């Protein structure tokens, strides 16, 4: 299947294709792979889509976990807690308790056991910066996820226009604006006010998508 380039292309904090992250998250939850589920969920969360990732997980629960009403009730309570506290580990609690359960089964006992994730348990998923910045994708893009057919147009977009499409993630938009960048939707470019701002931005966030290995490029695009 060839990806339709008319759809929204959004790159996440580590330049994964956002739609591929969500698809891979769904599959990793259903196969009860906690580490991979946490990886994909926090890739969305720390890209700035906090509300969206909780909504996505509730959609999964409505689709696959309707036989676990007590679990859903517990997780709705945890979501309300997150809205009040913004504790990042609550998302991990969601994933831990989903992955403990076989979605093809049902609640069989009156007493249910729920696991609470601690803040330190998600330290490895938090945003990371490294020097030189171009090395970060090789260090952090460790999962390949659900693959689609190879798409040369998408590869060229990743290599040449990654920053523009990353700007649709809140984390990248904030980084651009903090360095006096302007997002030009008509020209599909990001420009900075002067050379100092450009240098400042790329010193910290110059991921050099076109210089990554082909393996990393395909991994980010799920092809």
Say what the pTM is: 0.94
Whether 119 and 170 share a structural domain: no
| pLDDT single digits (tens) 28-58 | 999 999 999 999 999 999 999 999 999 999 9
Among 82, 109, 125, the domain boundary falls at 125
Whether 143 and 121 share a structural domain: no
Q: How far from 122 is each of 26, 46, 130, CA to CA, in Å?
A: 19, 11, 18
* Assigned domain for 13 exists: no
* Assigned domain for 2 exists: no
Whether 106 and 191 share a structural domain: no
Whether 30 and 99 share a structural domain: yes
141: nearest Cα among 29, 39, 38, 214: 39
* Assigned domain for 63 exists: yes
* Assigned domain for 56 exists: yes
Q: How confident is the model over 170-197, as a mean pLDDT?
A: 97
* Assigned domain for 9 exists: no
* Assigned domain for 8 exists: no
Coil, helix or strand at residue 59: helix
Range of the domain at 56: 18-125
Q: How confident is the model over 133-145, as a mean pLDDT?
A: 95
> What gap in Å lies between CA 162 and CA 10, rounded to an integer?
9
**Tally of domains in the chain:** 2
* Assigned domain for 6 exists: no
| pLDDT single digits (tens) 53-99 | 999 999 999 999 999 999 999 999 999 999 999 999 999 999 999 99
Tokens matching residue 215: 């393996």
- In the chain, the percentage of residues whose pLDDT exceeds 90 is 89
Whether 112 and 143 share a structural domain: no
């Amino acid at each position: 299947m060839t990806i339709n380039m008319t759809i929204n292309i959004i790159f996440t904090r580590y330049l994964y294709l956002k739609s591929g992250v969500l698809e891979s998250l769904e599959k990793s939850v259903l196969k009860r792979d906690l580490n991979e589920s946490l990886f994909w969920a926090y890739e969305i969360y720390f890209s700035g889509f906090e509300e969206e990732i909780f909504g996505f997980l509730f959609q999964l629960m409505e689709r696959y976990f309707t036989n676990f009403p007590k679990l859903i009730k517990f997780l709705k309570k945890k979501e309300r807690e997150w809205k009040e506290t913004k504790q990042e580990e609550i998302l991990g609690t969601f994933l831990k308790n989903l992955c403990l359960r076989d979605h093809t089964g049902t609640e069989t006992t009156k007493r249910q056991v729920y696991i609470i994730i601690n803040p330190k348990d998600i330290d490895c998923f938090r945003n990371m910066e490294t020097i030189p910045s171009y090395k970060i994708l090789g260090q952090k893009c460790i999962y390949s996820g659900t693959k689609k057919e190879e798409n040369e147009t998408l590869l060229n977009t990743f290599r040449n226009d990654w920053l523009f499409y990353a700007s649709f993630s809140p984390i990248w938009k904030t980084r651009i604006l903090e360095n006096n960048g302007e997002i030009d939707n008509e020209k599909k470019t990001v420009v900075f006010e002067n050379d100092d701002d450009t240098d400042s931005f790329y010193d910290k966030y110059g991921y050099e998508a076109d210089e990554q290995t082909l393996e990393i490029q395909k991994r980010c695009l799920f092809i």
